[in-house]
Amino acid sequence: MTRLLPCAAYQQDGWLSWGCPFLCVRLLLSGVLAGMGEDGRLVRGVVVRRLLAVERGSGSVSSLHVRVMAEAAGVTVRTVWRWLSEAREGRLEPVPRQDRFTLDDGLWAVLAEVGGNVAALHRRMTAEGSSVAAGVPSLGTLHRVVQRDLRAGRVLEVARPSRNRVEVSRYDRVLADLKLQRAGEGLPVVDAEPQDPPMAAADAKEVAPPRGGVRLFVPGARVVSTAAVAAVVESVGHTVAARGIGCWFGDPGVGKTVAVQQALHLLPSRVPVWRAVVAVKPGLPQMRASLLEALGLSGGSLAHRAQPADRALGEVLRQPGVLFLDDAQRLSPALLDYLRLLWDEPGTAAALVLCGAGAERMIARAPAMRSRVLTWHQVPGMEPEQLTETLSMFHAVWEGVEPADAGWADATVARGNFRTWAKITSHVYALSKRENTTRVDRPLIEQACARLGPYP
């Protein structure tokens, strides 16, 4: 055991000279421990005062002094050196720590308005000034505060639903407001919207696309509401009023999309219609992004955040409206189950309209979704009995055509497919203009049908 040698002299403040280092360290620690509080925490003022006393007595403070004080205080050596440096400048006591910065409800609402962009919130706070006493914090501090509040469970509603809402109390009158023609009554009815007159070929590029993106292939063509279309309109109206899920299916080209869009067009203007585009083999993030875009939500900040995006979608779907998904046959059973979960949320008041060739087969592969479908409607082709009447109302070029000639084209080429008839009409119109004739006869129809190739 090392023997402690007595010291030669004492300083006036009670400190020993450092001729005997071990004894001095021991007495130094005893003085430090005397300055500790009841809870065992070392008072910073005691540490710096002892070290300043040593510095005044010996002219300097060694690293041994600092290391001993750091071990006694439970801090790092670097912290003690910093305390001593600040004490030499006159700051013996620590600066009282300011209260932690917090975002009040007003700033939190601003953060939601900017889509959760913390940098945008910081720019606005810097420009306008903050109302808190601590002033405007740094951008890093603001990021940490937001993350801290989110981890604590504070909800950030970064999305705002569309303002095109409908009162629920008024929504039950949708069926009464629908002025629909009953299926099977009278001849086909032409869409009541005014149509632009046929334009020259040079001005054809200026023609706006038809409503809903339906291609009619020829200037002057009109959307015709046949008995089959009227039946679709009635079924869509019932599904929308019941706030249910419906599936409209049939062969490609029979006019499913035209009929459903006609039905949605006849809904009262106060009923919002959201059209979502289904990609080819979409994944769940793509599907969620399409729904966010269709419902008018900020897809950029929500597309890759599943829970906030689903909450925002559910909030919009609690308002009456119609979500229209064309080409629903592209949806996998997993995506159909995702839609089913959205519609299973309590309070959902929107209707879901699914349309596509083969959509019924894809929905059948998702039993949970299939059991929730309210309306199944198969759209048939054109009726041969009303073929000439429908064609003459579709385009003026068919006025006066012989029923036998139109029947030949339907039996050999078109087979009741309205899309095929639209293409035949386009070629008949072009040939009649080229030959400067107004009569559509059998040779002209055969020449037009020949242009469709082996796959009309």
Q: Token pair for residue 70? A: 């750091």
Mean pLDDT computed over every residue of the chain? 76
Domain 169-188+226-378, what architecture? Answer: 3-Layer(aba) Sandwich (3.40)
- Give the whole-angstrom CA distance, residue 311 versus residue 347: 13
Quote the pLDDT of residue 214.
59
Find the mean pLDDT for residues 418-425. 90
Q: DSSP alpha helices (H): ranges in 215-347?
A: 227-242, 256-265, 284-294, 299-302, 306-317, 333-344
The residues near 345 (Cβ < 8 Å, ≥ 6 apart) are 314, 317, 318
Quick one: tokens of 127?
Answer: 């420009």
Where do the domains of the chain lie? 21-88, 105-151, 169-188+226-378, 384-450
For the ranges 19-28, 143-152, 193-202, 346-355, the one whose mean pLDDT is highest: 346-355
Tell me what pLDDT residue 373 has. 95
Q: What is the pLDDT of residues 323-333, one digit of tens each?
A: 999 999 999 99
In this prediction, residue 29 has a pLDDT band, given cuts at 50, 70 and 90, of low
Q: Mean pLDDT over residues 236-250, rounded?
A: 93
Summarize pLDDT for 187-218 with one digit per residue, the tens.
344 443 434 433 333 343 333 334 444 567 78
Q: How far apart are the first and last CA of the chain?
A: 108
Q: What is the pLDDT of residue 366?
A: 93
Residues 132-153 as b/e (b if ≥16 CB within 10 A, e otherwise) read eeeebbeeeebeebbeebeeee
Residue 273 pairs with which residues in a beta bridge?
Answer: 322
* Averaged pLDDT for residues 153-172: 54
Q: Is the pLDDT of residue 5 over 60?
A: no
Residue among 60, 64, 62, 29 at smallest CA distance from 47: 29
Instruction: Give DSSP secondary structure letters for 9-27.
Output: -B-TTSPBPTTSHHHHHHH
The confidence score (pLDDT) of residue 275 equals 94
* Greatest mean pLDDT among 123-127, 195-199, 231-235: 231-235
The pLDDT tens digits of the residues spanning 253-307 come to: 888 998 998 888 888 877 899 999 888 888 888 888 889 889 888 766 676 678 8
Lowest mean per-residue pLDDT among 135-144, 390-399, 414-423: 135-144
How many residues does this entry show for the chain?
456
Give the whole-angstrom CA distance, residue 345 versus residue 325: 19
User: What's residue 439's pLDDT?
Assistant: 82
Rounded alpha-carbon distances, angstroms, from residue 12 to 6, 16, 250:
17, 9, 106
185 band by pLDDT with thresholds 50, 70 and 90: very low
Residue 398 pLDDT grade (very low, low, confident, very high; cuts 50, 70, 90) = very high
